[in-house]
Structure 1
Amino acid sequence: MRKIALFIGAMSVATVGFCGVGQFSGDTTCYVYKQDKLQKKLTCQYDGAEGAAMSYAFRQVDYNLPGFGKMATSNSADYDDNSNHTGWTTTVNDEPAVIRYRAPSSKKVVSQTYAESGKKVLQCYLSTTSQWEICSE
């Protein structure tokens, strides 16, 4: 009986740290770049999920791009017990990637500081291997 009580207590503590996962989908405008040159602006569909727990946060979005197929983006971050950021992973189609931002009108790359200033930006995932980049509004 004592083991059962300990197990139930441990499970209660374990589930307190789980904050949840949300799923979303819709249509948007996507921009596909290759080696920093715009290849196509198109309407695309996306399906995604995002969530967080005490030591982990993630966002995964799959974009269905007519004429290009699917681009799967993923971003995750890890935190220690003091909420300090300890690492992150970003991918496009399972290739290492970076997140960067573009101005919606000029499509020029802008700094993260600019993006955090509250101005409207396109969020982009750039594969550091193949140089494919997907941006969405």
Structure 2
Amino acid sequence: MFALAQTIAEGSSRKPRVGVIVDAEHADHDRADWLSRPFADQIEVVVSPITSTWLEAAQALGAAEVEYAFFFGYGVGLAPYDARDEIPALERAIGAPLILPHRATVLHLRNLLMPALNDLDHLPADWNRT
């Protein structure tokens, strides 16, 4: 996840505003962690502690007009009783892409497997033919 933030920082000719949703209990530690990164001087970090709900923290990042948001919430939107639109709702509140561990992992795996996995090989021959 920090490697993605570094790519954003180093790939921009200006200082992008990067939001981070964190647990309120360790918000100061998380802010210090972000600011200790070698790319920290290339981004503006906006930390939004969860004091009530994830959505309220996301809304605070939206009000801060961040361009990207990170949430190291493993399983966010994946738990059995999470709302189906939880991740899109958070993204709408932020108004920017929300980078989550499982999203980053899936995209990475997709890029690793894509050349070796042809979906059409696993579908009936007449699939989607008109």
What TM-score bracket applies, with the shorter chain setting the length? under 0.3
TM-score under structure 1 length normalisation: 0.25
Q: Which has the larger radius of gyration?
A: 1
Between 1 and 2, higher relative CO (CA 8 Å, sep ≥ 6) is seen in: 2
> When you count helix as a share of all residues, which structure comes out higher?
2
